[in-house]
Amino acid sequence: MRPLYITCLKSTLTLRLTIATQLMPSTTYLDTLEQDITKMVTIALEEDIGSGDITAELIPRTQTSSAQVITREDCVIAGKAWVDEVFTQLDRRLNTNTSIKWHVNDGDKAVANSVLFELSGNARSLLTGERSALNFLQLLSGTATKCQQYADRVKHTHVRLLDTRKTIPGLRNAQKYAVTCGGCYNHRIGLYDAFLIKENHIAACGSISKAIQTAKQNHPNKPVEIEVESLTELQEALRARADIVMLDNFGIDELKQGVVLTREFNKQENCEVKLEASGNINHVTLVANAETGVDYISIGAFTKHCVAVDLSMRITTDLHLAHTEE
């Protein structure tokens, strides 16, 4: 990992998430982001290379070249650090020295057929790392692109669009980072940093009020969010002082009524209970939900239905030998 870049990445992510901290506690994955990138890249290279890249071995060991990576479609970029880490690890493994020149930053919009970055170095290293590097970049940029498309549709409102825990196993931190590159925000990272009390939790605890009370007693510094399915349940959650109430599968009229009820309650009780809309909200229904006045909308599709961006690497110079052929 290039130390300067990961420092900049973490600094940028901290800035992007400043507003979101009113929803959840400090983003706990920031401190482990570098380790997570290293770990996931190691796994990716191990599963791809195995005992060795037998096709790359057709190329003389000292042969060098240059290449460009382009996007075939408009997109929002996310994943530079993962690409850098792929070639950092390969350089150590193959005793090579790959140079990468980026033309974009995470969060930038790139147009179709533009060059994202250029590489130069050992030909074997470039070709061996190509697929792993592009896998990370195309997936994370796909996540960021979908998020930006949704965020642009509701920029005339005050709503914050949130991700969920519906992420690809092993890539949660990566996808949550990509969500912020696309102008959206992180919900809780896992089961440990905030409460999200759902129907089955309520049933097991006995009531909405009891679940909220117990949560606040057990972890007084953790945000408490609870899911409700009716305006009556919303009123109970408000009286119990939930921090956030998730309105699950509410119709537009019900959402508007819920917003009015909550604003009146907040004014009377001098508190700031937030509302989150959730449940089968897509690009068609998004704007109508946002215009009801809810504070947040959570969308699982950001990370579970993402479509990878079409990227391509092309050799740009003739392959040549640095010294001698093998």
Residues designated as active site: 131, 166, 198, 227, 248
Q: At what angle do helices 172-181 and 33-49 cross, to 10 degrees?
A: 120
Using CA atoms, how far apart are residues 167 and 301, in angstroms rounded to an integer? 9
Contact between residue 276 and residue 297 where contact means Cβ atoms under 8 Å apart:
yes
Using CA atoms, how far apart are residues 52 and 49, in angstroms rounded to an integer? 5
Q: Which residues, including other chains, have CB under 8 Å from residue 279's CB and lie 6 or more apart?
A: 248, 249, 250
Residue that has been written with the tokens 């959730």 in this structure: 278
Looking from the CA of 234 toward its CB, the CA atoms found within 13 Å total 27
Contact between residue 79 and residue 139 where contact means Cβ atoms under 8 Å apart:
yes
- Cα dihedral: 205, 210, 213, 216 (round 10): 20
Residue that has been written with the tokens 């309520």 in this structure: 202
Contact between residue 307 and residue 74 where contact means Cβ atoms under 8 Å apart:
no
Strands 115-122 and 63-71, by their bridges, are: antiparallel
Q: Which residues, including other chains, have CB under 8 Å from residue 26's CB and lie 6 or more apart?
A: none
Using CA atoms, how far apart are residues 149 and 75, in angstroms rounded to an integer? 10
